[in-house]
Structure 1
Amino acid sequence: MPESRTQRKTPLVLIVDDERLMRTMLRDTLEAAGFGVVEASNGREAMERARQIHPDLIVLDVIMPDMDGFEVCSQLRKINEIRHLPILMVTASEEREVAERAYAAGATDFIPKPINAAHLRHHVRYMLRASLNVEELRQKEQRLAHAQRLARLGNWEWERGEDRLRLSEEARRILAVADDAVSLTLAAYLEHIHPREREAIRRGLDQLWQNGPPLDLDFRLLRPDGTERFVHGQADRIVDAGGDAVRLVGTIQDISERKRIEEKLTLAGKVFHSSGDMILITDMQGWVVDVNDTFCRLTGFRREKIVGWPLGDLLSGQHDSEFYRHIWQTVTDKGFWQGEVWSRRQDGESFPALVSVNAARSDGEENGHYVFSATDLSRLRETERQLHYLSHFDPLTDLPNRLLFLDRLQQSLVGENSHQGQVAVLFIDLDDFKEINDTLGSQTGDRVLQEVARKIKECIRASDTVARPGSDEFAVILREVVPGGDAASVAQKLVDSLSTPFAFVGREFYVTLSIGIALSDIDGTDPEELIQKAETAMVCAKEQGKNRYIFFSEAMNQQVQERLAMKTSLRRSLERDQFLLHYQPKFNSVTREFTGLEALARWQHPDRGLIAPAHFITLAEETGLIVPLGEMTLRKACRQNRQWQERGYHPFPVAVNLSAQQFGEQDLVDTVCRALRDTGLSPQCLELEITESVILQDTERAIDILRKLKNMGIRIALDDFGTGFSSLDYLRRFPLDVLKIDHTFVRGVVSSEQDAAIVRAIIAMAHSMRLKVVAEGVETEEQRVFLREQGCDEVQGYLVALPVPPEEVERFFPLAGGRRDC
């Protein structure tokens, strides 16, 4: 019979590799780390050795003659007595397909060649610890289920959103429900409670969910066969970081026997000896009488040393006296208490435990015992593994996230001195990715991110790292690069890799990159600082036209700091009402009569003077200030229009632009209503301009909002038509009044037959749908003549009028009842 792992003083590792040199290297590394080593030169020898010696871990090469490592691993998993042994596969490739084959064959983990001795020792130690813990947890769960069955104590959890009450095996037995009924609705659970007590428990659970006190009471159950059982029930709520309840948890304990005859209560000996939980027994004065093996194993205390100690010597010191006083008072009053307590190990380490305290004493008996049963609530290893992935990787692209990227960058910088070259950090942002998400949907956006991730990985070496630290951001670590040159080559390769168009959902479009680069020997060796400088360079690349890469410089940093200062100043100026409106007139293209105005915001900066929208709208969108800025523009435009009418001028419409963020606000319709009500302006004198991307974010919601605005009498204009994914479908479905031709097409109507054809088509299409057409950016008389001949209704641009302050607008429109030539 081979020696078991618990009998060995030194863990035994079986090395399987057909290369003697590799086996020797592995043996030397592991023996130097204190492990016992046995070798096998091929797969069949490995299987025989594994049966004979039952090693604690197997290091298995992938490439071997006769039987490769995948086949050997698969066969080893079929041998019952060693099927749970950890297997570390050694491969010369880091390709994902190799890893997937290894895991499919049953490998616990894999390590690439060439093997780093420190990494190998770390893997082996980690896998041995994990294997031992998994086995202990498996046995613990079995003992816990058995202990709960013996203690007649079941537990449950209730998720309100799902309305599913999940029951433990013992809870199902107490309720006498079918073994396969692992969950019930709350209503079904309440049906098991005696009718006289059902409503009180329902109210108690409702109050508990609304931040009421925990439940702790006895009640009766009605089983399907008609018999009654007394149970002790407890319930509490679990809250999230914001203090909101996310689930209810509780226990039910069958106390029928205790209710009928408490004098027959004895120490639960079988529970004590077989439980996977820690059990401690004291006398009524609080002196330790006995502890079980699990208690000793998990805390480090020896039984012979701890027996006779006062219970106070075992407390963690993390609870105050009032906490313990409440426990003893509850046990005194009810005979039972359960809750979470910080416990202490022999080495002083504190750990959370779910503790139950039972008073074991018969009626009228002064002497008795207290029985403490505790479950270690430290995280299960399997859960840790899953959480490790979620906390270190991006599930969408399977790339490292920012946390893991920082760790790898730190490692690269620490190891920089032992290698030639330097470390380069590339911070990558997808240009105009939000537009893709808004117009084509998040599913297409996700596919784009996955494809970009794939292309980036193709452009770098296996020793480099690519990560996704943000929504549309990627980052790359280049190790051992020649100063400047290698980083520039990779950056250009990344830019070139996206030169071909993407084709999704029947549409073809391009994605470009803006890349910032920081170098360790020039820009510093602090990981956060390097990332920040690379990001700063990326911002500058975007501002200089996008689809390019730029190295970080101090001048660039100064530029970014100035931009941040502008954002702060923008917020302050909005609070101080340092914005005003200019108005650009619109005119009939045939009669040249004035027809209305478009309101345009201007920033009256206290130091820099009047600033045009092109220099602050993007900042407003980035900071979220576009919403209050847009509401301010709406109110000022409505108030000014009403003032003109009160002064006797003929009513006319004023157009106000709505941003995408404004349109996304839930109270947009209410905001517009308040602006009209507060200023007294008629809805017929307001025109709201939206863009194509706005209405394509959520089509059905957009239709609903626009119809409500339209029903109020407000005119709806579609701005910048032709620059996005123009569609006859939404022109047909959306309640529009006006179509505005973008200035990029108007500019070319005289010089470009293609632009002229587009404009003709837009005008004809709009008129066929009974929409008024307005041409933006008219700058020459030739353009106006062309538009007039094609039937364009109105024109707007520098040819006919520049945007001007309110006091200068009045020269364009007559008194009430008259008209005026432009």
Structure 2
Amino acid sequence: MHSRWRTLWDRIAAPWTRGGNNTVLLLRLENLALLTERLGKAGMSQLFVGLMMRLSAGTRPHDRVQILGQGIFAVALPGRSEIEAMRISLRLQEQGQQPVGIAGQEVTPVLTGVLIRDPAEAATAFGALIDSGRRRLMALPVERIGRISLFEPRPADPDDDLPATVAEAATSGQIIAHFQPQLCCNSGRITGFEALARWQHPTRGLLAPASFMPGMSEADHSALTLRILRQALAALKHWDQAGHDVPTVSLNISNCALADPGFAASLLWELDRQEVSPSRLVLEVLESVGPISSSSAARRNLARLSAAGCLLDLDDFGTGYASLDAIRQFGVHRIKIDRSFVMGCDCDPAQQRMILAILALAERLGIDTLAEGVETREEHSFLAQIGCDQVQGYVIARPMPLEETLAFLQDQESRAARLPPLTRKEAG
């Protein structure tokens, strides 16, 4: 846990730490990704405020409730017996999991709890209890999801060696890249892979980004980006040595990472160190990185990386704003049509009109298009027929470890060689 959380909790809870029997309850919102998809950022902010109010209403006035990170709440319960602390925890969990109406939708939060109790007379500081609790949360087996688990902080416990943050996981080698292919609609050949982060957790198994990315700190973002960047560049060299033609690899870049003034320099140094041409690295940035909303450091980083030859994708196109400014200022070479427009495009006239409008805009601007989240053959066929350049999604392949990409590439190259190229004229 970051030192600022220890400092904060040690300060605000200081009057109640002297008598021993200090206890902290940590509650994690397990269906965070699903709720975010349904409610959006504004809805999630409303949900977090509501949860804070529910938790505060269920405790004494001097008990402290705090959001540690997006989807993780901490409640200080000083001077409680073990039975009383567990009873309160179960009540708070039940209150937090009551259905709530937000933006015309009824949603039900799912909360997992870890109760860290220190019965020692020395009275462990609340910050240290929270540190232990975060590690326990990350180490919980799947069967404990949705329940309250009681632990005592034990410095020698082997669970304390488990990473509590994404930065620690990246340093220990637990963050690994999986690669999802991108396919040319005309030739059937692979145009590149997108590198996607996965956490190979010692006790929870393989975790998707939605399980750990919300609430990440700046240090987490930096460590994650560097870790995936190094694996992505190593993958390019691996494919080259195996004799496969993979032109590019794509890397998602968060606005947080872009805001680091030294980001461009460190990325270009890594490219030079691994002897990879900048033109083979595609940086995927969100529409919100446009000049209206991004920081000056982010704009300088993008401008420098673009000038060095790195390619830029505008990700989740159509869901943000300032896209045209971003295309004009940063030389975006491809826009990724968001899954929300792709879903059902083979049979939904409204979806078809939206995609045709995006394709017409891209053609006028002279940039490529890639439809992401393509899950059915019918969607793939329709997108190829109307002139979408590339597709990416489960219908082509799910994200896979590097060692599985070689067999996939060999199979795909064999298929492409057997089939005549499908031109847009023929498709029409």
> Relative to structure 1, is the Cα distance of residues 404 and 585 closer, same or farther in structure 2, using a 3 angstrom cutoff?
closer
1:510-548 alpha-carbon deviations (Å, 9 max, x no partner): 99795635386xx8577549945993598369997xxx9
Deviation digits for residues 742-773 of structure 1 (CA, Å, limit 9, x no counterpart) = 44654544587776676556545555554422
Q: 1:717 aligns with which of 293, 296, 313?
A: 313
Equivalent of 2:230 in 629, 632, 646:
632
In structure 2, the CA distance between the partners of 1:491 and 1:763, relative to structure 1 (3 Å rule), is farther
Q: Is the 8 A contact 2:26 2:74 kept in 1?
A: yes
8 Å contact from structure 1 (residues 583, 806) kept in 2: no
Aligned length: 379
Residue of structure 2 in register with 1:185 after alignment: none
Q: Which has the higher contact order (CA 8 A, sep 6+)?
A: 2
2:320 corresponds, among 727, 742, 751, to 727
Distance, in Å, in 2 between the alignment partners of 1:801 and 1:411 is 58
Q: Specify whether residues 476 and 783 from structure 1 end up closer, same or farther in structure 2 by C-alpha distance, changes over 3 A only.
A: same
Distance in 2, matches of 1:532 and 1:792, equals 50
Aligned residue type for 1:728 = Y
Q: CA deviation at 1:552?
A: 1.3
Q: Which amino acid aligns with 1:465?
A: D
1:426 equivalent to 2:34? Answer: no
* 8 A Cα contact 1:659 1:690, kept in partner: yes
Deviation of residue 716 (structure 1)?
0.4
1:688 to 274, 283, 291: 283
Match of 1:703 in 2: 299
Structure 1 residues 512 and 464: CA distance shift in structure 2, 3 A:
farther
Q: How does 1:352-501 map to 2 (within 5 A)?
A: 401-405=9-13, 407-408=15-16, 411=19, 413=21, 425-428=24-27, 455-456=53-54, 459-460=57-58, 462-468=60-66, 470=68, 473-477=73-77, 484=86, 486-494=88-96, 496=98, 500=102
For the Cα contact (< 8 Å) 1:721–1:742, is it kept in 2?
Answer: yes
1:674: Cα distance to partner? 3.4
Distance 1:623 1:543 in 2: 25
Contact kept, 8 Å, 1:601 with 1:633, in 2: the verdict is no
Give the C-alpha shift of residue 683 in structure 1. Answer: 3.6
Q: How does 1:33-432 map to 2 (within 5 A)?
A: 401-405=9-13, 407-408=15-16, 411=19, 413=21, 425-428=24-27
- Answering whether residue 392 of structure 2 is matched by residue 796 of structure 1, we say yes
- The letter for the 2-side match of 1:402 is D
Specify every segment of 5 or more residues in structure 1 that has no aligned partner in the other structure, as ranges. 1-391, 395-400, 414-422, 502-509
Task: Identify the residue that residue 663 of structure 1 maps to in structure 2.
Answer: 258
Question: The residue matched to 2:95 in structure 1 has which SS?
Answer: helix
The corresponding residue for 2:409 is: 809
Computing the radius of gyration over CA atoms, which structure comes out larger, 1 or 2? 1
Q: Does the residue aligned with 2:228 lie in a helix, a strand or coil?
A: helix
Partner AA of 2:409 in structure 1 = V
Q: For 1:537 and 1:676, how far apart are their aligned partners in 2?
A: 34
Q: Distance in 2 between matches of 1:485 and 1:751?
A: 53
Q: What secondary structure, in the 3-state scheme, does the structure 1 residue paired with 2:92 have?
A: helix
- Per-residue deviation, 1:465: 1.4
- CA displacement 1:412-456 (0-9 Å, x = unmatched): 85xxxxxxxxx9743356868xx9xxx999xxx9x9899569725
Specify the alignment match of 2:208 in structure 1: 614
CA, structure 1 residues 492+789, in 2 after alignment: closer, same or farther (shift >3 Å)?
A: farther
Shift of 1:731: 4.1
The separation in 2 between residues aligned to 1:462 and 1:573, in whole angstroms, is 42
Change (3 A) 1:525 1:572: closer
AA in 1 matched with 2:95: K
Code of the residue aligned with 1:518 in structure 2: it is L
How big is the alpha-carbon RMSD for the aligned residues of Structure 1 and Structure 2? 5.7
Match for 2:13: what amino acid?
F
TM-score using structure 1 length: 0.36
Which residue number corresponds to residue 783 of structure 1? 379
Change (3 A) 1:789 1:538: farther
Shift of the 485–715 alpha-carbon distance from structure 1 to 2, 3 Å rule, reads same
CA spacing shift, 1:780–1:613, aligned 2, 3 Å: same
What is the Cα deviation at residue 597 of structure 1? 1.0
Deviation at 1:782, TM superposition (A): 0.9
Is the Cα–Cα contact under 8 Å of residues 776 and 797 in structure 1 kept in the other structure? yes
- 1:637, 1:806 → 2: CA distance? 10
SS in 1 for 2:261: coil
* 1: CA distance, partners of 2:274 / 2:336: 27
> Deviations for 1:262-307, whole angstroms, at most 9, x for unmatched residues?
xxxxxxxxxxxxxxxxxxxxxxxxxxxxxxxxxxxxxxxxxxxxxx
Instruction: Determine helix, strand or coil for the equivalent of 1:600.
Output: strand
With over 3 angstroms needed to count, the CA separation of the structure-2 counterparts of 1:569 and 1:460, relative to structure 1, is closer
Task: Give the match's secondary structure for 1:493.
Answer: helix
1:653, distance to aligned residue in structure 2 (A): 3.4
Percent identity of paired positions between Structure 1 and Structure 2: 17
- Using the size of structure 2 for normalisation, the TM-score is 0.62
For residue 115 of structure 2, the aligned residue among 491, 508, 518 is 518
Query: What is the DSSP-based 3-state SS (H/G/I as helix, E as strand, rest coil) of the residue aligned with 1:552?
Result: strand
Contact 1:637 1:656 in 2 (8 A): no
Instruction: Tell me: CA distance 1:561–1:745, structure 2 relative to 1, closer, same or farther (3 Å).
Output: farther
Alignment partner of 1:740: what SS?
strand
Question: Closer, same or farther in 2 for the Cα pair 1:474/1:786, shift >3 Å?
Answer: same
* Secondary structure at 1:625 match in 2: helix
Change (3 A) 1:598 1:673: same
Residues in 1 aligned to 2:338 and 2:370: alpha-carbon distance in whole angstroms? 9
2-structure distance, mates of 1:457, 1:553 = 19
Offset at 1:582? 6.6
Q: Do 2:282 and 2:313's aligned partners in 1 also have CA atoms closer than 8 Å?
A: yes
In the TM superposition, residue 774 of structure 1 has moved relative to its aligned partner by: 0.9
> Structure 2 CA distance, aligned partners of 1:684 and 1:458?
53
